[in-house]
């Protein structure tokens, strides 16, 4: 097959069963495409137990995409835990000529990207990403789908020197 044809592009799906037991921080490193890496919705079901703090009540907002926290009340208050779901953090390092599709919750809402070339990061509507730190990247495209700003626009060259950078806010449903 012709390597430039779309049928030659491989897709890798990352699910819970591909992570080592207890791992909640995912690092993708030293990958050269062309290809697509999909972080599936299944990763949103990764479970972490956190100590409960009855004095700290998180803010909630209507239609918030954050975790629904279910507190366990079987133990005394000082030993109670709550379960939270999703990856803790995502690191992308030294990726070339590929697309990363994020469909899962990221507890810290943070993606760190470094030393990547010609990479597209597509953040689907079910993902929770609020912060992207990108360092030493060239031709990086960030796509946030579902247009959270209710605008469909692209911003070129924001805050990253030396290369082409594009941010796409997705397609409005209207």
CA 99 from centre of chain:
12
Token representation of residue 120: 């597209």
Q: Hey, how many other C-beta atoms are within 10 angstroms of the C-beta on 162?
A: 9
Written as tens digits, the pLDDT of the chain (174 aa) is: 334 444 567 999 999 888 776 778 899 999 998 999 999 999 988 877 666 665 566 666 666 655 555 555 555 655 667 777 888 899 999 999 999 999 999 988 899 999 999 999 999 888 888 889 999 999 999 888 764 444 444 444 444 444 455 566 555 554
What single string gives the DSSP state of each residue in 12-44? EEE-GGGSPTT--EEEEEEEEEEEEEEE-GGGG
% helix / strand / coil in the chain, to the nearest 5? 10, 45, 45
């Amino acid at each position: 097959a012709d390597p430039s044809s779309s049928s030659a592009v491989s897709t890798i799906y990352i699910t819970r069963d591909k992570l080592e037991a207890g791992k909640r921080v995912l690092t993708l490193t030293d990958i050269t495409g062309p290809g697509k890496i999909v972080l599936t919705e299944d990763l949103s079901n990764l479970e972490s137990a956190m100590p409960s703090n009855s004095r700290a009540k998180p803010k909630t907002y209507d239609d918030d995409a954050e975790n629904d926290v279910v507190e366990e009340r079987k133990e005394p208050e000082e030993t109670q835990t709550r379960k939270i779901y999703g990856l803790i953090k995502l690191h992308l390092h030294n990726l070339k000529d590929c697309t990363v599709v994020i469909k899962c919750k990221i507890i810290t809402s943070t993606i760190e990207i470094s030393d990547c070339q010609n990479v597209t990061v597509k953040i689907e509507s079910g993902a929770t990403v609020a912060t992207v730190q990108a360092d030493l990247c060239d031709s990086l495209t960030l796509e946030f789908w579902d247009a959270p700003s209710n605008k469909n626009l692209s911003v070129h060259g924001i805050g990253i020197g030396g290369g082409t950078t594009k941010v796409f806010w997705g397609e409005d449903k209207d």
